[in-house]
Amino acid sequence: MKKKPTKEGHVIREVAPGSIAAELEIEPGDVLLSINGEAVEDVFDYHYLSSDEYLEVLIRKSYGEEWELEIEKEYEDDLGITFENPLLDEYRSCRNHCIFCFIDQMPPGMRETLYFKDDDSRLSFLQGNYVTLTNMSDHDIDRIIRYHLEPINISFQTMDPQLRCRMLHNRFAGDVFGKIQRLHEAGIAMNGQIVLCKGINDGESLEYSLAAFEQYLPSLQSVSVVPVGLTKFREGLYPLEPFLPEDARRVLDQIERWQEYYMDRYGTHLVHAGDEWYFLADRAFPPAENYDGYQQLENGVGMIRLLHDEVDEALSGLEGDGRRDRFSLATGLLAAPHLRQIADQIGEKYPGLVCRVFPVRNDFFGEHITVSGLLTGKDLIAQLRGKDLGSRLLLPCNMLRSGEEVFLDDITVTQLQKELNIPVRIVSADGAGLVKAFLEMPEGKDT
């Protein structure tokens, strides 16, 4: 059913020079009203509708006149338009009150964007976010199937409908499995996530969920199991306990047993444990082939294994030389032992390079938060001030707000450099970038 155009439309911010839109004299400030007589609900409507070879585009000029433009182009040729609102719609916030929600554990006084709880399925396709599907209508599912949008990343948490209602504190949270079944029957690729909470969805409940995922194969491509993150700001929230090393070992035994089951029958491991479980259990990471192409990398699954393998590959083509430098690297408590190992490995080929790795405790969020991506500028300053940091300080890029040099607490890299009186270098997340950062010599140093 076609959606009728509305008079609001979508304001155009930029028109690419030499583009189809520029040739048709579409300008910033103009408003897109419809394509082929259909309203453009959001960015997915726009990309789907504008991909055809023949278009009738209704534009309202900034001075009020409406133009109906006929466009003939190659299939999927872009019109060259950028909109004021990239999503072309309001962002959908989360309607749940999950017992494990990290945002509920944020202290007051931080920047406003950190408190927004998104649960927008469109961000699953655009940014890889995980969504609960609880605020998705049948119309939303229809559009995903119509446009064949994939993969969609789903926060399952459990396959038990009643338990899911309790965990998400939403009496409708158990109703989503019919939607998931529709996606599966339409062949939409899915990835899943379980945030494991001790004594709630682990043990027998996890066993039930890992077995129930079989019904969605092959559409369901991967499922990650990650431990709940607990900050020190939990007063008044649902009482949750941290996992202990013996708990982590049981979880890994359970996951590895199901990995064998799915690999034997379907040629995929399907279920993957977050890196934190291996740190906590003090177990070696599996080989690369166990991660099925690292489908859950952004969810903290396989990052350490991939980093080691990438460092091995980057070093294999290097001969080593006599360059000399002393510098430092700061990271979270979990990754520190592995980065020390990598520093030693690079040092074997470049004996003159000495990197001191500093594990930084997360005093801001609390001792149970041990990943580098949640460290703050204040904790870095407090724990590194007065230390012998050498010629420069390396920091992983995941400590910073995406695209900016700002930490979670709004301390900037420039402020950090001033406080520590040392040059700070931001290191990309891949192994090749890490090796390159180690080998880059400060000005005045001989190579």
Radius of gyration of the chain (CA): 25
Lowest-confidence region among 57-61, 83-87, 259-263: 83-87
Percent of the chain with pLDDT over 70: 92
According to the model, what pLDDT value does residue 3 have?
46
Q: What is the helix (H) or strand (E) element at residue 277, kind and residue range?
A: helix 275-281
According to the model, what pLDDT value does residue 341 have?
95
pLDDT at 7 exceeding the cut of 60: no
According to the model, what pLDDT value does residue 43 have?
82
pLDDT at 69 exceeding the cut of 70: yes
Tell me the mean pLDDT in the region 336-351.
95
According to the model, what pLDDT value does residue 109 have?
78
**ω into 359 cis (within 30 of 0):** no
Q: What is the helix (H) or strand (E) element at residue 420, kind and residue range?
A: helix 413-420
According to the model, what pLDDT value does residue 22 have?
94
Please give the single-letter amino acid code of residue 231.
T
> How far lies 216's CA from each of 4, 177, 187, 273, in Å?
35, 11, 10, 19
b/e per residue, 316-349, with b = 16+ CB within 10 A? eeeeeeeeebebbbbbbbbbbebbbebbeebeee
Tokens of 90: 């309001």
Cα 44 to Cα 134: distance, rounded to the nearest angstrom = 20
Instruction: Assign 52 a pLDDT band (cuts: 50, 70, 90).
Output: confident
Q: What is the DSSP string of 35-64?
A: ETTEE--SHHHHHHHTTSSEEEEEEE-TTS
Q: What is the DSSP string of 85-125?
A: STTSSPPPBP----TT-SGGGPPTTS-GGGG--B--HHHHH
According to the model, what pLDDT value does residue 125 have?
56
Lowest-confidence region among 103-117, 297-311, 361-375, 421-435: 103-117
pLDDT in tens, 93-117: 678 889 998 888 888 877 776 666 6
> 335's torsion region: left (phi>0), alpha (psi -120 to 50) or beta?
alpha
Cα 330 to Cα 347: distance, rounded to the nearest angstrom = 17
According to the model, what pLDDT value does residue 119 have?
62
According to the model, what pLDDT value does residue 5 have?
44
Cα 233 to Cα 362: distance, rounded to the nearest angstrom = 13
According to the model, what pLDDT value does residue 4 have?
45
pTM score, two decimals?
Answer: 0.83
Q: Which of 90, 82, 64 minimizes the C-alpha distance to 13?
A: 82
Domains of the chain: 10-83 (2.30.42.10), 103-301 (3.80.30), 307-439 (3.40.50)
According to the model, what pLDDT value does residue 84 have?
87
Cα 96 to Cα 49: distance, rounded to the nearest angstrom = 32
Cα 392 to Cα 405: distance, rounded to the nearest angstrom = 17
Question: Strand pairing partners for 68?
Answer: 58
> How far lies 263's CA from each of 197, 214, 258, 291, 381, in Å?
26, 12, 8, 11, 47
Lowest-confidence region among 74-83, 116-125, 340-349: 116-125
pLDDT in tens, 11-31: 999 999 999 999 999 999 999
Q: What is the DSSP string of 308-341?
A: HHHHHHHHHT-------EEEEEEEETTTHHHHHH
> How far lies 158's CA from each of 13, 162, 225, 300, 364, in Å?
42, 9, 11, 19, 30
Lowest-confidence region among 78-92, 257-271, 286-300: 78-92
Q: Which residue has the tokens 């430098």?
A: 325
Tokens of 320: 């080593």
pLDDT in tens, 173-207: 999 999 999 999 999 999 999 999 999 999 999 99
Percent of the chain with pLDDT over 90: 70
Cα 121 to Cα 133: distance, rounded to the nearest angstrom = 7
Q: Are 407 and 373 contacting, i.e. CB atoms less than 8 angstroms apart?
A: no
Tell me the mean pLDDT in the region 113-127.
61
pLDDT at 2 exceeding the cut of 50: no
According to the model, what pLDDT value does residue 317 have?
85
pLDDT in tens, 232-244: 999 999 999 999 9
pLDDT at 445 exceeding the cut of 90: no
pLDDT at 320 exceeding the cut of 80: yes
Tokens of 35: 């394509």
Mean pLDDT across the chain? 90
